[in-house]
């Protein structure tokens, strides 16, 4: 293959070692740290993409992550292509956050009976597989699809940081806590008021149903005041009725701001700001796996294996995975 040109690599005049598709492919398959270092590739990647400091130590870490099995149990050793995709994904995770979107896994599955995939850095293909049978390589195909969907999820988070904006989350939760504008304003005005803390909560009780209507409100009574809150059934991401009652009864909040916040848990399916991106990711995966959009991922013919795939890769620097986002609980630890 020809040497890559017109990329961030070739623009650096310090590069005297020609960087080719072949050498980039070799780094994914190299057999020793010595070989990887002699190739000079890792130093080249650091100059643009990878984190500064402790270069020698990070080179070793980088090599170990992309050249060694993804886990001690070798869960996927029967799927060499998926293991290669995992190693490329490790390479992406070590890149600076602003450059991770330049590392992509592309899938070509226009033919329902076969597929191929490729690894791309910027606009350059560094590896491209042969056409593979979807029937014979079904597990591998599902694994590569889950990695691609996970990477796209991260890219969307980086592009739209408002998904992880605590102030916007609090405002959105207040809008679902009550249907009455005056109550919403009262909640906003008292976000930091210690009178509405868990320690000051006396009780919560449902209000009598209005004639011809269901029980739409409940009251949270505190030592120095009451809050009339919505008791309408909560849909995904809404902070009303049972989810709100459960949060109140935990009594672990110092004020309403803490009650409405998810704290360090913004990366959860409970965050309504993330609902659009979660829904899009789930739809994307269903389309890849030929699951009807109207059906749950629970209908997958090999659900335990799908859960394992979705739990392999955490989102960003968190312990959250697409398995958790999609509401699929793992039965065993990987």
For 158-216, how does the pLDDT look when each residue is reduced to its tens digit (9 = 90+)? Answer: 888 888 888 988 999 999 999 999 999 999 999 999 999 999 999 999 988 765 455 68
Residue 139 resides in a domain: yes
25 and 76 in a single domain? The answer is yes
Q: Check if the beta carbon of residue 95 is closer than 8 Å to that of residue 316.
A: no
DSSP structure string for 191-229: TT-GGGSGGGEEEEEEPPPPTTS---EEEEEETTEEEEE
110 and 182 in a single domain? The answer is no
Residue 312 resides in a domain: no
SS3 at position 8: coil
The domain boundary residue, chosen from 245, 260, 275: 260
Domain count, the chain: 2
Q: Check if the beta carbon of residue 113 is closer than 8 Å to that of residue 135.
A: yes
143 and 45 in a single domain? The answer is yes
Q: Check if the beta carbon of residue 42 is closer than 8 Å to that of residue 62.
A: yes
Cα dihedral sign, 30-32-37-42: positive
Residue 308 resides in a domain: no
Residue 235 resides in a domain: yes
Residue 268 resides in a domain: no
Domain that holds residue 231: 165-260
Residue 314 resides in a domain: no
48 and 84 in a single domain? The answer is yes
Mean pLDDT along residues 100-110: 89
Main-chain phi, psi angles of 65, to 5 degrees: -75, -30
Q: According to the model, what pLDDT value does residue 235 have?
A: 83
Q: According to the model, what pLDDT value does residue 2 have?
A: 30
26 and 91 in a single domain? The answer is yes
Entry pTM: 0.70
- Please say if the pLDDT value at position 20 is more than 70: no
Which DSSP category does 135 fall into? T
CATH at 91 = 3.30.2440
With tokens 């030592």, the residue in question is: 223
The domain boundary residue, chosen from 204, 233, 260: 260
82 and 181 in a single domain? The answer is no
Residue 327 resides in a domain: no
| Greatest mean pLDDT among 32-36, 156-160, 203-207, 316-320 | 203-207
Instruction: Tell me which residue of 208, 240, 202 sits closest to 221, measured CA to CA.
Output: 202
Q: According to the model, what pLDDT value does residue 156 have?
A: 92
């Amino acid at each position: 293959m020809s040497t890559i040109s017109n990329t961030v690599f070739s623009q650096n005049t310090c590069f005297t070692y020609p960087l080719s598709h072949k050498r980039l492919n070799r780094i994914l398959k190299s057999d020793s740290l010595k070989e990887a270092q002699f190739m000079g590739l890792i130093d080249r990647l650091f100059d643009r993409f990878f984190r500064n400091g402790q270069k020698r130590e990070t080179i070793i870490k980088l090599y170990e992550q992309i050249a060694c099995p993804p886990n001690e149990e070798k869960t996927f050793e029967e799927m060499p292509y998926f293991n290669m995709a995992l190693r490329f994904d490790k390479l992406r995770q070590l890149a600076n956050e602003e450059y991770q979107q330049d590392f992509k896994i592309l899938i070509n599955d226009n033919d329902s009976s076969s597929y191929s995939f490729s690894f791309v850095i910027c606009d350059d293909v560094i590896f491209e597989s042969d056409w593979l049978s979807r029937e014979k390589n079904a597990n591998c195909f599902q694994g590569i699809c889950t990695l691609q969907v996970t990477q796209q999820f991260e890219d969307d988070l980086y592009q739209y940081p408002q998904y992880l904006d605590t102030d916007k989350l609090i405002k959105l939760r207040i809008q679902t806590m009550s249907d009455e504008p005056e109550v919403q304003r009262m909640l906003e005005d008292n976000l930091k008021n210690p009178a509405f803390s868990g320690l000051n909560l006396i009780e919560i009780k449902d209000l009598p149903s209005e004639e011809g209507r269901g029980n739409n409100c409940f009251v949270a009574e505190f030592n120095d005041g009451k809050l009339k809150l919505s008791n309408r059934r909560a849909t995904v991401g809404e902070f009303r009725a049972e989810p709100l009652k459960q949060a109140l009864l935990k009594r672990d909040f110092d004020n309403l701001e803490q009650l409405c916040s998810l704290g360090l848990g913004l990366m959860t399916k409970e965050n309504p700001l993330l609902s659009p991106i979660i829904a899009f990711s789930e739809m994307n995966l269903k389309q890849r796996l030929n699951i009807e959009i109207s059906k749950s991922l629970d209908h997958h013919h090999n659900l335990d294996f799908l859960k394992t795939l979705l739990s392999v890769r955490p989102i960003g620097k968190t312990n959250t995975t697409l398995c958790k986002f999609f509401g699929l609980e793992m039965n065993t630890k990987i």
